[in-house]
Copies of this chain bind each other. A is one copy, B any other.
């Protein structure tokens, strides 16, 4: 069985390495618009061969689409046009509604499985890929009633091999929930980095000597690649704007409490927030 990977970055590369580790499939073939990534992917053993997209589509039993969400949306319909009745195609995009919507009425919709393995890190590219990226992490399956049973089973098998936990949501639910647990945290981290860099302009040495581990974790996501993340923000704009609104409300609340010496309320606010311990 040939496994075709479109996009040989962090996610595509890690899926390939994760599946190879457990001897899933026979031959891994790949393609990437970035020639450097393609060369690295061969060197790192992520794929066995780089081949043109049209050959990859023809030769693969399973196609994994791990490119920025705007590119997925753009090429998914034309890939579906070309796949056989038995091919399974799955994507790994961080937003799902736009992508699912783009192929909703496609005659071969059932060959497509919309998934989101939630395991990104701030680094990108094949060099950051590793076989355990997905180990015991969460994977969301979206609108799975629109996929053929055998296609879902194959996708489930793929993520189970890598020991992922599965959850089933509509693409709309996914985009709503993920805006709070992933997209908003990215926005906050980008903004914190920006606020700080502006404040410490020309005081690099002080910044270097005053940061601690709290700042390091709070700005980890600010290192993320705009090529991946801008399309995500755009695609989930409506939910994300609402999440930012609610977050600003909460910030304004704590600012009001501080200004007006309502310390009992701040204490309560922090104690409520502490309940996140149950989850993280």
Contacts and interface: CB of A to CB of B under 8 A. Distances in A.
**Interface range on chain A (Cβ under 8 Å from partner):** 35 or more
Nearest to A250: B191
Interface in A29-75: none
Interface string A5-33: 00000000000000000000000000000
Interface in A81-129: 118-121
B181 A210 contact: yes
Given A140-B210, A213-B121, A276-B219, A244 B233 contact: no
Contacts of A223: 274, 276-277, 280
Contact of A280 (B209, B211, B237, B271): B211
Contact of A195 (B190, B194, B250, B252): B250
A188 B190 CA distance: 12
Contact of A180 (B177, B196, B247, B278): B196
A273 B222 contact: yes
Given A185-B192, A229-B270, A254-B191, A217 B214 contact: no
B222 A276 contact: yes
A178 interface: yes
B184 A192 contact: yes
Given A180-B196, A195-B247, A196-B276, 17 more contacts: A118-B212, A119-B212, A120-B213, A137-B212, A138-B211, A140-B209, A185-B218, A188-B188, A191-B250, A191-B254, A193-B274, A197-B275, A237-B259, A244-B251, A244-B255, A245-B255, A248-B248
13 contacts: A119-B212, A138-B209, A187-B251, A190-B269, A197-B276, A215-B280, A219-B276, A219-B280, A226-B270, A244-B258, A245-B255, A248-B252, A251-B251
Question: A-B pairs with the 9 shortest C-beta distances?
Answer: A118-B212, A185-B218, A193-B276, A167-B209, A193-B273, A226-B270, A190-B273, A217-B217, A191-B250
